[in-house]
Amino acid sequence: MHTGETITQFIIEEQRNSPSASGDFTALLNDVVVACKAIANCVQQGALVGGVLGSAGSENIQGETQKKLDILSNDIFLKANQWGGHLAAMASEEMDDVYPIPPQYPKGKYLLTFDPLDGSSNIDINLSVGSIFSILRCPEGVEDAKAEDFLQPGTEQVCGGFTLYGPSTMLVLTTGNGVNGFTLDHNVGEFILTHPNMTIPEDTAEFAINMSNQRHWEEPMKRYVDECIAGTSGDRDKDFNMRWVASMVAEVYRILTRGGIFMYPKDTRDPSKPGKLRLMYEANPMGFIVEQAGGICSTGRERIMEIQPNGLHQRVPVILGSKNEVERVISYHKDA
């Protein structure tokens, strides 16, 4: 048994360093952690219980087929976080509109956004999935938080985090003081601090992109990936390795562990979608974590965290990871 620092202890100690903190944020984060543990449990049960594997037969607002576990995880997030009195409202990738706090519960000063289950296409094939979340402050004086109250740039985030339901269950968190990783000890039922102060190496020889979309990319992206593939026989002085898990949580975790670059760039498949990943539920919290770990998160043209959101479900191109590689991709966009 690991007897290290639990995530609860970690959050409370962080709170003590901030004299103005009321404990509200600590309590909210505890509720988020409970949701993540419950989802981890469902993921682990797999086919042993009904309602985990397979399609739900419905679509979300973005036209994506929902898996049973997408909906189950969404419900778990709502139930775990609606009662505590810390939130003014929630918003999720799987819900069309803002979720108001039900009238029987007190309201609080924070807003929570989440991707309850990231990497859904991996559920039925028993590969890694995860959850991503972001906490914002509700604007002063707002009684009933609406979509527009969520539309704050990522630089305003109070917290960004994700879990990875992989061979072990991990939770990675930032509140703006670096990045820490916790491993779920199933025997104790607690996340234990196992990866303090995670940092992303500045250089890497590993890239991650869905190559099947290559013909739809813009020129700077084609140039960068062509050069990676050409390796020592091209303009770059090194050979590259490639990974594509199709779960952003797993890719970002890998990058936090050994470096790398992850790209879901703009492509021309559907002009109404300037990228696949969602700003509020995926790109902003991941951007916060990556930057806090010393990496960069960009669209290729601008810093993700500085984008002024124009809609809850807005999509953006995402290029993140090891500083020197992301800077190179940005410079190729400038050249073009």
Q: Which of 45, 58, 121, 168 binds ligand AHG (CB under 6 A)?
A: 121
DSSP string, 35-91: HHHHHHHHHHHGGGSTTSSSEEEEE-TTSPEEEHHHHHHHHHHHHHHHSSS-EEEEE
Residue 34 binding partner per list ligand AHG, Mn ion, none, with a CB distance cut-off of 5 to 8 Å that depends on partner kind: none
User: What separation, in Å, do the N-terminal and C-terminal C-alpha atoms of the chain show?
Assistant: 54
**319 sits near ligand AHG (criterion: CB under 6 A):** no
Tell me how far apart the alpha carbons of residues 128 and 209 are, in angstroms, rounded to a whole number.
Answer: 17
**223 sits near ligand AHG (criterion: CB under 6 A):** no
| Alpha carbon separation from 222 to 45, 165, 237, 251, 321 (Å, rounded) | 41, 32, 18, 20, 18
**246 sits near ligand AHG (criterion: CB under 6 A):** yes
Number of residues engaging ligand AHG in binding (CB under 6 A): 13
Residue 148 or 270 with smaller CB distance to Mn ion: 270
**276 sits near ligand AHG (criterion: CB under 6 A):** yes
The C-alpha torsion from 154 through 155 and 160 to 162, rounded to 10°, is: 50
The burial of 12, by beta-carbon neighbours within 10 Å (0-12 exposed, 13-18 middle, 19 or more buried), is given as middle
* Closest distance to Mn ion from the beta carbon of 18 (Å): 31
Residue 325 binding partner per list Mn ion, ligand AHG, none, with a CB distance cut-off of 5 to 8 Å that depends on partner kind: none
Q: In this structure, how many other beta carbons lie within 10 angstroms of the beta carbon of residue 81? A: 22
* Closest distance to Mn ion from the beta carbon of 118 (Å): 3
Identify any residues that bridge with 87 across adjacent strands, giving them in sequence order: 110
Q: Which of 6, 15, 120, 134 binds ligand AHG (CB under 6 A)?
A: 120
Identify any residues that bridge with 309 across adjacent strands, giving them in sequence order: none
Residue 45 or 121 with smaller CB distance to ligand AHG: 121
Tell me which residues in 47-86 interact with ligand AHG (CB under 6 A).
64
For helices 68-82 and 24-45, give the axis angle rounded to 10 degrees.
150
Q: Which stretch binds ligand AHG (CB under 6 A): 98-106, 115-123, 160-168, 230-238?
A: 115-123
* Closest distance to ligand AHG from the beta carbon of 267 (Å): 10
Residue 202 binding partner per list ligand AHG, Mn ion, none, with a CB distance cut-off of 5 to 8 Å that depends on partner kind: none
Encoded tokens for 310: 């124009």
* Closest distance to Mn ion from the beta carbon of 117 (Å): 5
Q: List interacting residues with ligand AHG (CB under 6 A).
A: 64, 93, 115, 118-121, 210, 246-248, 264, 276
